[in-house]
């Protein structure tokens, strides 16, 4: 290898080592400060230190002398979206891709200098694949949970008369203050459900909202929805989780014991009802607002009151201390569903703001 080529190799190694270190540090900070995941934080830190150890036999002075950022033609080349990150999931995905690719570059070029270094880098790369997959999955779940925790208005809707009709309603509702939409239609066939769910999920993600499939964990997975909601007679949380993985799993509950069981089983959120009578489902018993108060006092995960809730009685739900509701008929049967959604959201937001205000010490 002549001097010119060797210098070029050192430039490549220097740039790639910097990329790997930056990428690992970016993911380490997410694991530490966003996810509070000590295991992943330690793993990325270990990989950073492993990188330094693997390259220690290469003279740092030689790498620095080879560095020539001012004449690097690559600094003037930018890709589409290089300066755009929609959310933390995008930040992690970009860091993971950059790190893994640069590790492979280091591995290949160190073979021309010292094959033993390449072997060490190969092991770091394999560890990086595993850790990157873990943090990408974790940050997506974290983002969904953050969206869920900040949600207060959840709407259940059917497939509608057509695909275009369904999509326009989903878009209108999500733009009009609805936070979560659940597709619930037991009369629709699987193909229709998947088609509607895929479209609804795409709209929800574009708007930073949440889209859930009712009952069918298999269809939630196939349509790549944000999660699935199951009842007391459907799949247990653990079995639903085996199908949908890190997606959200919600559970319908009708008593405080069922709510506590749902938390223990690993549910991400619960529905609490039926609070009042409704046209959607026929129940012989209603939990009333007393159950809601119990949930507020004892349950930490997001809980949505459901069952016959509309603008005429949402104040009763709020007085129980619960500030999240799931509705069907209030939206479905309205001549102006968006306006109703906005009014419900305004009432819920006002309740949250009032609850957050410190009491007057006078």
CA neighbor of 159 nearest in space, from 133, 131, 182? 182
Helices (H), 150-189: 163-175
| Count of structural domains within the chain | 2
> Does 255 lie in the same domain as 180?
yes
| 3-class DSSP state of 59 | coil
Query: Is 229 in the same domain as 348?
Result: yes
Count of CB atoms within 10 A of residue 12's CB? 18
3-state SS track over 272-295: ECCCCCCCCCCCCCCCHHHHHHHH
**Among the listed ranges 94-103, 284-293, 316-325, which one has the minimum average pLDDT value?**
284-293
Least confident of 30-39, 105-114, 273-282, 323-332: 273-282
pLDDT confidence tier of residue 83, bands split at 50, 70 and 90? confident
Distance CA 145, CA 286 (A): 29
pLDDT tens readout for residues 16-31: 999 999 999 999 999 9
Lowest mean pLDDT among 1-15, 31-45, 117-131: 1-15
How remote is the C-alpha of 162 from its chain's centroid? Answer: 29
Which residues lie closer than 8 Å to 29 by C-beta, 6 or more apart? none
Same domain for 104 and 175? no
Cβ count near 191 (within 10 Å):
9
Shared domain check, 297 and 171: yes
Instruction: Give the tokens for residue 323.
Output: 């500030």
Residues 250 and 132 in one domain: no
Assign residue 303 the CATH number of its domain: 3.20.20.70
* The two three-digit tokens of residue 331, written as one number: 């939206």
Indicate whether 171 and 191 sit together in one domain: yes
**270 pLDDT exceeds 80?**
yes
Tell me, yes or no, whether 302 lies in a domain: yes
Supply 147's token pair: 């969206």
**Angle, vertex CA 194, rays to CA 133 and CA 345, nearest 5:** 85
Predicted pLDDT at 362: 42
How buried is residue 66: exposed, middle or buried, by Cβ count under 10 Å (0-12/13-18/19+)? middle
Please report the pLDDT score of residue 141 as a whole number: 84
Enclosing domain of residue 165: 150-355
Sequence-separated (6 or more) residues with CB below 8 Å from residue 5: none
Among candidate residues 93, 113, 144, the one where a domain is terminated: 144
Q: Is 76 part of any domain?
A: no
- pTM of the complete model: 0.75
Q: Which residue, 144, 166, 188, sits at the end of a domain? A: 144
């Amino acid at each position: 290898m002549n001097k010119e080529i060797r210098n070029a190799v050192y430039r490549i190694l220097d740039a790639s080592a910097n990329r790997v270190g930056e990428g690992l540090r970016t993911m380490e900070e997410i694991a530490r400060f966003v996810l509070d995941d000590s295991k992943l934080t330690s793993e990325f830190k270990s990989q950073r230190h492993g990188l330094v150890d693997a390259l220690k036999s290469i003279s740092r002075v030689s790498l620095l002398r080879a560095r020539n950022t001012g004449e690097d033609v690559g600094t003037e080349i930018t890709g589409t979206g290089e300066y755009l990150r929609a959310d933390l999931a995008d930040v992690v995905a970009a860091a993971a891709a950059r790190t893994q690719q640069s590790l492979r570059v280091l591995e290949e070029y160190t073979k021309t200098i010292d094959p033993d270094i390449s072997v060490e880098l190969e092991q770091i790369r394999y560890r990086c694949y595993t850790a990157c997959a873990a943090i990408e999955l974790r940050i997506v779940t974290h983002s969904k949970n953050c969206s869920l925790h900040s949600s207060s208005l959840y709407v259940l809707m059917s497939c509608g008369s057509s695909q275009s009709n369904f999509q326009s309603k989903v878009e209108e509702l999500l733009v009009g203050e609805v936070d979560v939409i659940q597709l619930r239609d037991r009369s629709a066939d699987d193909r229709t459900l998947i088609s509607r769910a895929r479209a609804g999920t795409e709209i929800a993600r574009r708007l930073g909202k949440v889209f859930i499939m009712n009952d069918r964990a298999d269809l939630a997975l196939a349509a790549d929805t944000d999660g699935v909601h199951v009842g007391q007679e459907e799949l247990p949380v653990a079995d639903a989780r085996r199908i949908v993985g890190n997606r959200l799993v919600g559970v319908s509950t009708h008593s405080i014991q069922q709510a506590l069981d749902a938390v223990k089983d690993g549910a991400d959120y619960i529905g609490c009802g039926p609070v009042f009578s409704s046209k959607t489902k026929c129940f012989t018993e209603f939990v009333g607002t007393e159950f809601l108060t119990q949930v507020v006092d004892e349950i930490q995960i997001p809980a949505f009151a459901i069952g016959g809730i509309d603008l005429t009685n949402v104040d009763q739900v709020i007085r129980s201390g619960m500030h999240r509701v799931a509705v069907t008929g209030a939206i479905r049967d309205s001549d102006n569903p968006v306006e109703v959604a906005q009014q419900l959201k305004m009432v819920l937001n006002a309740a949250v703001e009032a609850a957050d205000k410190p009491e007057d010490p006078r």
